Structure formats: structure tokens, C-alpha cells
């Protein structure tokens, strides 16, 4: 199955095929990679070639917080079908989206807006800290803030609505 991994503003195609008898055939950017993954306490142990990484993952697909080999950040992992659905939704909903949603569980560390405030598309509206990383969320469209549903210090679940727009 083909997946698309978006990391640091780069989209990487990853093909994963189950091999008879166990294991996987993995291709990254159409290059075969000798890789294996085992679930361990607190995350996964991932072997890529001769390198072994302990990987911690937080959140629910497609948006995940990752800590691995010194990297600490967010990735988006989508199947071909999910990618097509996301693209269709973006095209249809970007200008209509009326909420800002937390991509994963975390704690609110900054709120830049208040009810009644006019905002522009792409403007920072709130910051959620997850896995000791700050994730600045931006306005999905221009409009007016209807309600801010959270406050600084509050813990939120993934997919929680944080801000409503009119």
C-alpha cells in the first residue's frame, strides 16, 4: 500500500507490502529499504538498514507527533485514498471551515485571538503544546472569531474544537 509522509514541508511516497511469512517490503522514494518495526513499551523500535531508532508517536493519523533519533516534530501520514479525500475536502472546505481543531492531545499555551476579533486566513490564532513541542495553529479562512472555547493552561484532546468562526 502506498502512503504519503509529509515531513518538514516535503512529501515522501512510502510503499509498504506485506511479505509472505511475515515482514514487510518497504520502498521510500522508490528505493528499497531494509526496515523492520517492533512495538515496545512507550513506542516502537524501528530498524532502517543498520540504524535502530526508538520512536515515540502521539496523536491519531493522519497527524502525528514524532520523537525519533533527535527529531521532534509533526508528520502527516496518509494513504492514497486518504490523500485524495483530504485534497477534495481542502478544495471544498478551506474557504468554508468554521472551526480551528487541535491536531492532537496537548495543552493550550497561547491564545492570540478573542471573540469578535477579525482575522485573516493563515493568521496565528492559538498554540497547542504536545510532546514538549509547540504547534501554532492558523486561521483556516478570513472572518470573525465567534467563540474561543479554551483558555491558556487547559488540556485538550485531539480533534477538539478550540475556536469557532462566523
Claim to verify: residue 51 and residue 16 sit in the same structural domain:
yes
Claim to verify: residue 110 and residue 61 sit in the same structural domain:
no
pLDDT per residue over 4-33, tens digit each? 998 877 889 999 998 887 778 899 998 999
Last residue of a domain, one of 57, 81, 105: 81
Predicted TM-score (pTM) of the model is 0.55
CATH number for the domain that contains residue 22:
3.30.700.30
Claim to verify: residue 7 and residue 77 sit in the same structural domain:
yes
Give the domain extent around 15: 2-81
3-class state of residue 131 by DSSP: coil
Claim to verify: residue 72 and residue 104 sit in the same structural domain:
no
pLDDT per residue over 113-129, tens digit each? 999 999 998 889 999 99
* CB-based burial, 118-127: b 16+ in 10 Å, e otherwise: ebeeeeebbb
Amino acid at each position: 500500500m502506498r502512503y504519503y509522509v509529509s515531513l518538514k514541508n516535503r512529501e515522501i511516497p512510502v510503499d509498504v507490502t506485506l511479505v509472505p511469512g511475515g515482514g514487510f517490503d518497504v520502498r521510500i522514494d522508490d528505493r528499497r529499504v531494509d526496515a523492520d518495526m517492533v512495538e515496545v513499551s512507550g513506542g516502537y523500535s524501528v530498524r532502517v538498514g543498520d540504524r535502530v531508532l526508538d520512536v515515540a508517536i502521539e496523536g491519531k493519523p493522519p497527524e502525528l507527533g514524532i520523537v525519533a533519533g533527535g527529531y521532534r516534530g509533526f508528520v502527516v501520514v496518509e494513504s492514497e485514498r486518504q490523500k485524495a479525500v483530504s485534497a477534495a475536502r481542502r478544495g471544498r472546505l478551506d474557504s468554508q471551515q468554521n472551526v480551528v481543531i487541535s491536531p492532537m492531545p496537548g495543552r493550550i499555551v497561547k491564545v492570540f485571538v478573542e471573540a469578535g476579533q477579525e482575522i485573516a486566513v493563515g493568521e496565528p490564532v492559538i498554540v497547542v503544546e504536545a510532546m514538549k513541542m509547540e504547534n501554532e495553529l492558523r486561521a483556516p479562512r478570513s472572518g470573525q472569531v465567534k467563540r474561543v472555547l479554551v483558555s491558556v493552561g487547559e488540556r485538550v484532546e485531539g480533534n477538539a474544537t478550540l475556536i469557532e468562526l462566523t
